[in-house]
Structure 1
Amino acid sequence: MPTVIIEPGILAVQTHVLDTTSHQHTLQQITLPIGSVHLNVTTAQGIQSYNNTAIIIKESVPHQLTMHAGWVILIEPTSQVGLQVSAMLAGQEAYLLNIPHAPDEFSHLPTLLGLCNLRFQQQTHQYDPRISQLLKHLDQCLAGTCIKPAHWLAKDIAQQLNLSQSRFLHLFKENMGLAWRPYLLWRRLICAITALQADHTATQAAYMAGFSDSAHLSRTFKKQFGITLQKLLSQNKSQ
């Protein structure tokens, strides 16, 4: 496994020889290179290319990344760190970072964020109490206690929160800035990564996260992040 840091609202991966296809996701992304890096970002003005620089990419912006070594940090936009990133972006699709030095391969998350002039803070955002209750429940997965797929349907979540399904879906998007389904997919992928870190097989991790098999997990991961989970892990194991 590569070095992986998971906190509520944040996933940071230290990787080698990362080469993705063009992709987009609902998360903000910080790329902190240790070696050479080439990044293509698709904006309203066309494809913008960046070389050998740290950069923040706004959520839902298509991009393709080739990096010799470095950190990729994915952030939920409504998290405490995400709100700081949004202020830094100020509506831009990409923001170049002038970091004082390259990050270390074994850096802690506060150190990595500090290089970007961001403060690491635990989640204190004032969500609706029912959404906070749901997020706390989902965070059990970060401790290795994954919620089984049967509990992930919107109608079941709504019932647990004493809401209609339509009211729950509206309330969730209002609080989180994105719909329940793509957010749930992100959390399921986090669940799978957590399971792999705990030495479960890819098949076991896929089942725990609600995917039909490891191939389904791999395809979904590639669609979201431009690289299969197996390829990401094998590249890092070979270093």
Structure 2
Amino acid sequence: MPTPNHLHLWDDRFFYITPAIQSGLTARSSATLLASVSGHPFTLVTVDGSVLRCTAALVAPHVPRQLDADGCGLLSLNIDPASAAFRELSLTLGERPILTIDAACFGALRDQFAGALHGQLSSAQLRELSNRMVQCICGAQAQRALLDPRVDRVLHRLHVASGQGSTIALKELASLACLSPDRMTHLFREQTGMSIKRYLLWAKIRRTVQLMATGGSLTEIALSGGFTDAAHMSRTFQRYFGLPPSFLANAGSVAVVVDEHALRTWQAQ
């Protein structure tokens, strides 16, 4: 029997593809682009109780929402805060927490949605699909704002630290960027939209998701990812994704594919 859910991870994004999902209130550090496979609407409920029925939506980082995509099939594209695509989507969002979108904007791309749902597209095809979905939202000529090289150096160091399950002092990061700690903190938030501490948590979670493909025990994965124990990891995953780690780690429930660039970037080898 084919695996019903698919999770594809690249260095700067991941794609979760599922026939149906219902979650409680969740929020994560990525920008999240949601699209119905069938064209039937799914439901988002905001923290203030507002109900949004839409066929596609762009959700800003750290925005709590409940999701009910019961039977329509869902593509959930999660874009890393350090990526160029994230900055493009942030410009499109502006100050809006959630932008509802008519899935018709994806045009002929929608012909590929069913293939993605049924596991018929290769990792390279899914990556291209994700790029073109972002272009449909932001425009093909969207501005490619480059990351400040000082922040880029800091991010690389944070990726290494998360891979080692270690912590790193702000003073060391500031020295790496040749800035004062206060200026480093300000520049990092300006470029990524979040604090260094919050990004480190995201890096820990992102790497732990990737470790689900290794087949290790949840305790081993939790400790390798920098969590104190499996229970701590489980609480964090529920808050971020509305799914227990045991679900993502079960190869019979989710087929996880990790790109080689993701392995290098997130130090999962």
Q: What TM-score, normalized by structure 2, do the two folds share?
A: 0.71
* Gap change, CA 1:82 and 1:59, over 3 Å in 2: same
Root mean square deviation of aligned Cα? 3.2
* Gap change, CA 1:110 and 1:140, over 3 Å in 2: farther
- Identify the residue that residue 89 of structure 1 maps to in structure 2: 93
For the residue of structure 2 that corresponds to 1:212, the secondary structure is coil
- Identify the residue that residue 267 of structure 2 maps to in structure 1: none
- Identify the residue that residue 135 of structure 1 maps to in structure 2: 155
Match of 1:7 among 10, 27, 45: 10
- Identify the residue that residue 130 of structure 2 maps to in structure 1: 112
Q: Distance in 1 between matches of 2:62 and 2:156?
A: 25
Contact 2:77 2:130 in 1 (8 A): no
Q: Distance in 2 between matches of 1:238 and 1:80?
A: 28
Query: Superposed, which structure 2 residues align to 1:196-207 within 5 Å?
Result: 196-207=212-223
Q: Deviations over 1:80-128 (max 9, x none)?
A: 11233234334433131323326122441221342451589xxx75333
Match of 1:32 among 32, 35, 42: 35
Does 2:77 correspond to 1:61? no
Match of 2:190 among 174, 189, 193: 174
Contact 1:40 1:65 in 2 (8 A): yes
Contact 2:43 2:52 in 1 (8 A): yes
Letter in 1 for 2:80: E
Does 2:74 correspond to 1:70? yes
Contact 2:204 2:225 in 1 (8 A): yes
Q: Deviations over 1:130-156 (max 9, x none)?
A: 321122344569xxxx62232444345
Q: Distance in 2 between matches of 1:222 and 1:7?
A: 22
Contact 1:78 1:177 in 2 (8 A): no
Letter in 2 for 1:19: Q
Question: Shift of residue 159 of structure 1?
Answer: 5.2
Contact 1:218 1:228 in 2 (8 A): yes
- The higher-RCO structure (CA 8 Å, 6+ apart) is 2
- Identify the residue that residue 225 of structure 2 maps to in structure 1: 209
Letter in 2 for 1:3: H
Deviating above 6 A after TM superposition, structure 1's stretches of 4 or more consecutive aligned residues are none
Identity over aligned residues, as a percent? Answer: 21
Contact 1:30 1:72 in 2 (8 A): yes
Q: Deviations over 1:43-74 (max 9, x none)?
A: 88x503215x1221222322111223322111
Unmatched 5+ stretches in structure 2: 256-269
Contact 1:19 1:227 in 2 (8 A): no
For the residue of structure 2 that corresponds to 1:21, the secondary structure is strand
Query: Which deviates further from its counterpart, 185-194 or 72-81?
Result: 72-81
Q: Distance in 2 between matches of 1:91 and 1:137?
A: 30
* Gap change, CA 1:188 and 1:50, over 3 Å in 2: same
Contact 2:45 2:66 in 1 (8 A): yes
Contact 1:21 1:65 in 2 (8 A): yes
Unmatched 5+ stretches in structure 1: none
